[in-house]
């Protein structure tokens, strides 16, 4: 199979899901006639009709809740809330209903819902359109959080999410939409983190849109790059195995530093790999400011390959 | 505000059905009186929101539903769960926090659930159940199933965005849902006219193009007849909003000193109480004797005693099972 883009992989995944299972339907703002804000669902309305590619009003709370209800009613809805920024309007339904229902009902009701959203900064969209809140969601028991960073995962994770009996938040990275890669058509692993680049001097742990930046930095410092892929539940076994070899680690996370996902990874390394380390674990996160508009300021706010290289060098100082 | 006169006049329902509705209301009333007592005794903890005074709504509405219908309710849902068919034993055990409870002790008073009767809870976020109901109804429509989704909520929910978004979605998508609004005049302690610029609740739903009905929620016969119409409308035509005008006799929860309303107002509404007014009307039309009433009441009390014994005899789930059912087992 020839190389396709991350965006095409997402579309292929939606197409296959709709084709394969009648219970699957896609709903969200501008997923139909408009073709998706990022053109991910382009052409699907024509192919599957307005019942299965359902345009919604701007009611993130309402249609996310309706997705939960439809999932309870035996469907396999894919809800698109466009971007993580707007998912905050649906937070009550995601956190108070989808995540809690199974436990609160003593195990009687599972919610097989998939919520897709774009996330991340880097396109000069300013503070209200540039959040990276995957780490926030990863705080919550009862939902799974996945972050495809490769074309293969962009193609494979949706099918895995739909096969999962519990709510899955699927984060998509516009920063990666034009990246190209091969897709195997095989089922993807839905549980583990993966080594994306072999190296020997330092372990660089990241996920999502920061993966290419981490790889670029790793090329300069002989780093081993691990893509977390699944942010909840976290799989740190490959990270610990790598640290055993490299004895140093840097966590790269586009989320803000305080209380972020990087902090969780670091804490687990302290708990589980303290004696494997020759230096404190470092992190490169977004600066603690709302993401600004001006290009040079936005770049300064986000993790960059140079910052990762500097953090690695700091471990050898 | 002016309290309307008590429900009166001839009850037009078949006698047997009337007695069932009366029995339903008595079952809720006696169960919840016992709950209040058990709360005082420390057997039930957490929040406990009693439905006392509002029984006619759940009783009249629940008997209008079909077994395959979906029910979504709020944190004041003991009566709804009971009349939907969740056993009083399992409800009481849940309030005790025992694993024999209908949510295995994970939910408590506010989160009663039952898959067998399609009872989707027990939602304690005001308005949280409304989008869920729209989605359940959407699933039924897409799967071409004949079921209707009945969604109970208080009038406090109409201030939430979830209410407005759900009205719009349900009407836009024409899904089979009946939104059943229990207007007991107070959102916790905030009176309707102190929180809404538009106090005509039907007008809100109608502004989305939705069909509406309004009925005296203290009159179980009127509630039942209206709920039957609403169910039929939802099944055949599309979404409908029904306002049941009712009143809560007890405090909002067990922590409420009731500073926001006059005792005289509560007393005036008690004159409209759904159980004694219905009892009097049935007696007046010779469909009920005092003896039969006492029989029904004793049956309800016996059911309560049995439920308490069941809950007392229930067992605590071992704490090592704590993390079970956060996710579905593989």
- Indicate the residue among A157, A181, A205 that finishes a domain: A181
Last residue of a domain, one of A155, A181, A207: A181
State which residues of chain A have pLDDT below 70: 1
Check whether residue A171 and residue A204 sit in a common domain: no
Residue A21 in domain: yes
One domain, residues A153 and A12: yes
Q: Are residues A207 and A151 in the same domain?
A: no
Same domain (yes/no): A145, A93: yes
Residue A228 domain-assigned (yes or no): yes
Tell me the mean pLDDT in the region B199-218: 98
Q: Is residue B268 part of a domain?
A: yes
d(CA B23, CA A91) in angstroms, rounded, equals 41
Written as six digits, the tokens of B223 are: 């509630």
pTM (2 d.p.): 0.96
d(C-alpha A212, C-alpha A225), whole Å: 10
pLDDT at A283: 98
Interface test with B, best of A29, A53, A65 (most B CBs within 10 A): A65
If asked whether residues A205 and A278 sit together in one domain, one would say: yes
Paired residues of A283 in beta bridges = A251
* pLDDT confidence of residue B311: 98
Task: Tell me whether residue B148 is in a domain.
Answer: yes
Rounded average pLDDT over B247-261:
91
B70 is a domain residue? yes
Give the pLDDT mean for B248-271: 93
Q: Residue A267 is part of which domain span?
A: 194-315
Segment B66-93 mean pLDDT: 98
Contact A104 B165 (CB under 8 A): no
The DSSP bridge partners found for residue B181 are: B153, B243
Q: Does A187 reside within a domain?
A: no
- The answer to whether residues A36 and A176 belong to one domain is yes
Range of the domain at B157: 15-312
Position B116 scores a pLDDT of 98
Q: Is residue B6 one of the residues assigned to a domain?
A: no
**What does the mean pLDDT of chain B come to?**
97
pLDDT of residue B151: 98
- Looking at residue B299, its pLDDT comes to 98
Q: How far apart are CA B109 and CA B95, in angstroms?
A: 5
Structure tokens at B210: 């939705």
Residue pair A104/B111 in contact (Cβ under 8 Å)? The answer is yes
Quote the percentage of chain B above a pLDDT of 90: 97
How buried is residue B14: exposed, middle or buried, by Cβ count under 10 Å (0-12/13-18/19+)?
exposed
Can you give the three-state secondary structure of chain B, one letter per residue?
A: CCCCCCCCCCCCCCHHHHHHHHHHHHHHHHHHHHHHHHHHCCCCCCCCCCCCCCHHHHHHHHCCCCCCCEEEEECCCHHHHHHHCCCHHHHHHHHHCCCCCCCCCCCCCCCCCECCCCEEEEECCCCCHHHHHHHHHHHHHHCCCCCCEEEEEEHHHHHCHHHHHHHHHHHHHCCCEEEEEEECCEECCEEHHHHCCCCCHHHHHHCCCCEEEEEECCCHHHHHHHHHHHHHHHHHCCCEEEEEECCCCCCCCCCCCCCCCCHHHHHHHHCCCHHHHHHHHHHHCCCCCHHHHHHHHHHHHHHHHHHHHHHHHCCCCCHHHCCCCCCCCC
B255 to chain A, closest Cα gap in Å? 23
pLDDT at A317: 86
User: Would residue A82 count as lying in a domain?
Assistant: yes
- Asked if pLDDT for residue B1 goes beyond 80, the answer is no
B325 part of a folded domain:
no
Average pLDDT over residues B144-167: 98
> Would you state the structure tokens that stand for residue B322, as one six-digit string?
């704590």
Domain assignment of residue A250, yes or no: yes
Domain contains A188: no
Residue that finishes a domain, picked among A152, A181, A210: A181
In a shared domain, residues A145 and A212: no
Percentage of chain B with pLDDT > 70? 100
In a domain, B89, yes or no: yes
- Which residues of chain A make contact with B136, given a CB cutoff of 8 A? 69-70, 72-73
Do A177 and A198 lie in a common domain? no
In this complex, how many residue pairs, one in chain A and one in chain B, have their CB atoms less than 8 Å apart?
Answer: 144
CA B111 to chain centre: 13
| Residue A276 annotated among the catalytic residues of the structure | no
- State the residue for tokens 């299972």: A21
pLDDT, residue A104, reads 97
Residue B296 falls inside a structural domain: yes
3-state secondary structure of A58: coil
Q: What CATH number has the domain bearing residue A296? A: 3.40.50.920
Q: Which of A106, A141, A165 sits opposite B106 (nearest CB)?
A: A106
A170 and A103 within one domain: yes
Residue A147 and residue B16: Cα distance in Å, rounded?
Answer: 60
Give the closest of B125, B136, B326 to A142, CB-based.
B326
- Is B324 contained in some domain? no
Catalytic residue (choose from A22, A46, A51, A60): A60
CATH code of the domain covering residue B301: 3.40.50.970
Whether residues A59 and A176 fall in one domain: yes
- Subunit contact A66:B169, Cβ cutoff 8 A: yes
Q: Are residues A169 and A299 in the same domain?
A: no
Above 90 in pLDDT, residue B330? Answer: no
What's the pLDDT tens digit per position in B275-323?
A: 999 999 999 999 999 999 999 999 999 999 999 999 999 999 999 999 9
Q: Is A60 a catalytic residue?
A: yes
Please report whether residue A189 resides in a domain: no
Checking DSSP bridges between strand A282-286 and strand A249-256, what pairing results, if any?
parallel
Number of domains in chain A: 2
Output the CA–CA distances (angstroms, integers) from residue B286 to A94, B15, B19, B62, in the order listed. 54, 10, 12, 25
Same domain, A177 and A199: no
Q: How many domains does chain B have?
A: 1
CA distance A195 to A254: 19
CA distance A308 to chain B (A): 36
């Amino acid at each position: 199979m020839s190389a396709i883009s991350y965006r095409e992989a997402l579309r292929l995944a939606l197409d296959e899901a709709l084709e394969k299972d009648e219970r699957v339907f896609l709903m969200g703002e501008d997923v139909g006639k408009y073709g998706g804000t990022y053109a991910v669902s382009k052409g699907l309305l024509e192919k599957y009709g307005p019942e299965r590619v359902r345009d919604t009003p701007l009611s993130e709370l309402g249609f996310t809740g309706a997705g939960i209800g439809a999932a309870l009613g035996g469907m396999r809805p894919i809800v698109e809330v466009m971007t993580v920024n707007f998912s905050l309007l649906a937070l009550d339904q995601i956190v108070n209903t989808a995540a809690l229902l199974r436990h609160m009902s003593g195990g009687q009701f599972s919610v097989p819902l998939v919520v897709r959203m774009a996330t991340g900064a880097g396109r000069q969209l300013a503070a209200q359109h540039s959040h990276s809140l995957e780490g926030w969601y990863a705080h919550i028991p009862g939902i799974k959080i996945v972050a495809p960073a490769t074309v293969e995962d962009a193609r494979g994770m949706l099918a895995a999410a739909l096969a999962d009996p519990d709510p899955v938040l699927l984060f998509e990275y516009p920063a990666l939409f034009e990246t190209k890669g091969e897709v195997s058509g095989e089922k993807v692993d839905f549980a583990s983190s993966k080594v994306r680049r072999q190296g020997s001097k330092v372990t660089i742990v990241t996920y999502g849109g920061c993966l290419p930046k981490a790889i670029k930095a790793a090329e300069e410092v002989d780093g081993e790059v691990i893509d977390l892929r699944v942010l909840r539940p976290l799989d740190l076994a490959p990270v610990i195995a790598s640290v055993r070899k490299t004895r140093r680690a840097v966590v790269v996370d586009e989320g803000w530093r305080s209380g972020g996902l990087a902090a969780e990874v670091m804490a687990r390394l302290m708990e589980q790999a303290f004696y494997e380390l020759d230096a404190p674990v470092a992190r490169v996160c977004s600066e603690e400011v709302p993401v600004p508009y001006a290009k040079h300021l936005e770049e300064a706010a986000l993790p960059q390959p140079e910052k990762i290289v500097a953090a690695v060098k700091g471990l050898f100082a | 505000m002016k309290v309307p006169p008590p429900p009166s006049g001839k009850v037009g329902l078949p006698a047997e059905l009337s007695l069932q509705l009366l029995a339903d209301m008595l079952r809720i009333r006696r169960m919840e009186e016992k709950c209040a007592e058990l709360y005082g005794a420390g057997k039930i903890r957490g929040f406990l929101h009693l439905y006392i005074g509002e029984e006619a709504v759940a009783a009249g509405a629940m008997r209008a539903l079909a077994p395959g219908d979906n029910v979504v309710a709020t944190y004041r849902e003991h009566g709804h769960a009971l009349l939907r068919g969740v056993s009083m034993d399992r409800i009481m055990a849940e309030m005790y926090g025992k694993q024999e409870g209908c949510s295995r002790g994970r939910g408590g008073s506010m989160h009663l659930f039952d898959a067998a009767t399609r009872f989707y809870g027990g939602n304690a976020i005001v308005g949280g159940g409304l989008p869920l109901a729209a989605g359940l109804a959407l699933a039924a429509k897409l799967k071409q199933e004949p079921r209707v989704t009945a969604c109970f909520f208080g009038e406090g929910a109409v201030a939430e965005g979830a209410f407005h978004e759900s009205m719009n979605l349900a009407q836009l998508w024409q899904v089979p849902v009946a939104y059943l609004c229990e207007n007991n005049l107070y959102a916790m302690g905030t009176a309707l006219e102190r929180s809404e610029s538009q106090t005509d609740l039907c007008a809100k739903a109608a502004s989305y193009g939705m069909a509406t009905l309004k009925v005296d929620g203290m009159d179980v016969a009127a509630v039942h007849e209206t709920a039957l119409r609403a169910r039929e409308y939802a099944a055949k035509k599309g979404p409908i909003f029904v306002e049941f005008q009712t009143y809560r006799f007890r405090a909002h929860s067990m922590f409420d000193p009731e500073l926001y309303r006059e005792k005289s107002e509560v007393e005036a509404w008690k004159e409209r109480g759904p159980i004694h007014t219905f009892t009097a009307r049935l007696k007046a039309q010779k469909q009920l004797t005092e003896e039969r009433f006492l029989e029904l009441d004793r049956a309800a009390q016996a059911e309560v005693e049995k439920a308490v014994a069941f809950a007392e005899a229930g067992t605590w789930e071992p704490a090592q099972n704590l993390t079970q059912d956060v996710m579905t087992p593989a």
